[in-house]
Copies of this chain bind each other. A is one copy, B any other.
Amino acid sequence: MEIIFLGTSAGVPTRIRNVTATALKKQDGKAWYLIDCGEGTQHRVMQTPLSLHRLEAVLITHLHGDHCYGLPGLLASASMAGRRHALTIVAPTSIRDYLEAIQATTGLHLTFSLEFVAVEAMDASLRLPDFAVEAVSLSHGVASYGFVFHERGVESRLDTERLDALGVPRGPDWGRLHRGEDVTLGNGTQIRSEDVLLPGRPARKVVIGGDNDDPSRLEAACRGADLLVHEATYTEAVVERLGTDNQHSTAAAVAAFAQRLELPNLILTHFSPRYHDNRQVSPNIDDVEHEARSHYRNTLYLARDLETYRLSRDGEVIRMGRS
């Protein structure tokens, strides 16, 4: 699996970081999933190998501008590029009012349909082609959600004990069942492939949060997760100066949460533009990293725009560099 950060700044863009957008895809696939879509996301997509034709779904964590003002332009550009197949939009329900008002006032006619999934109404997993997705309600000024991506299509292995118990003789039928075909035995018994297959390895699980001042909301979702991607808008020092009613998390709070749950991998993003990327200026992005490292001992990254991170099958996250 790969995660490509398209924007890692909170609230406003900087010269180096755009506002929030994150792409998720299977490592060898072309299909991809977009989590949040701040203004200028389509410009960032143009700098990657991602294609608007292969975008399977857009998931919006919450309807603040820095997470959704790029959506109308991205849809318009996909239309002008001739996209025809439907696009799934998973978001708080008022995304419909937002998009419909923009379509009505700006003459935006899409060449494809939008299939809305109201995140408030998701009480079970939503099955997308590559992932089953759950939504978790977070704590922010407006309704905000985190998304839990459960890998689908994990390579399977035959449940040989069950095959023996069912009396399926070793041979070509085992191969057919392994390939997903159902078979009928000589005695007329029907054997369904899905009944004799086991996952070849645990499915990977990635949690991508929206804006949130209470990481513990993600505690159940993070149990057994390979990776948490979460905002770390501020450091403790800045929050002490600004007050705590900022509706965002500090690096310390997220890192301590991830440590408590012994999460193997944590990527922080959505940094306040007050943290300069120039390390000669204070406060800077290193302050965020130092604070997080002082609370978390496993693999930690601070996301940068256009960087790809790869989550391997054995659960290791590696920074692959810029697209």
- Of B39, B64, B107, B142, the residue contacting A39 (CB under 8 A) is B39
Query: A68-94: contact bitstring with B at CB < 8 Å (1 yes, 0 no)?
Result: 111011001100110000000000001
Contacts of A40 in B (CB 8 A): 39-40, 43
Contacts of A102 in B (CB 8 A): 65, 98, 101-102
A interface, size bucket? 35 or more
B98 touches A47 (CB 8 A): no
Contacts of A65 in B (CB 8 A): 72-73, 76, 102, 106, 108
A80 touches B13 (CB 8 A): no
Copies per assembly: 2
Contacts of A66 in B (CB 8 A): 73, 76
Q: Which residue of B lies closest to A100 (CB)?
A: B101
The smallest beta-carbon distance between A76 and chain B, in angstroms, is 5
The smallest beta-carbon distance between A72 and chain B, in angstroms, is 5
The smallest beta-carbon distance between A48 and chain B, in angstroms, is 11
B12 touches A80 (CB 8 A): yes
Q: Which residue of B lies closest to A142 (CB)?
A: B107
Contacts of A63 in B (CB 8 A): 105-107
**From residue 89 to 125 of chain A, which have CB atoms closer than 8 A to chain B?**
94-95, 97-98, 101-102, 104-108
Contacts of A281 in B (CB 8 A): none
CB of A165 closer than 8 Å to a CB of B: no
Query: A13-33: contact bitstring with B at CB < 8 Å (1 yes, 0 no)?
Result: 111001100000000000000
Chain A interface (Cβ < 8 Å from any Cβ of B): 11-15, 18-19, 38-40, 42-43, 46-47, 63-66, 68-70, 72-73, 76-77, 80-81, 94-95, 97-98, 101-102, 104-108, 141-142
- Listed from nearest, the 3 A-B pairs whose CB atoms lie closest are A101-B101, A39-B73, A98-B105
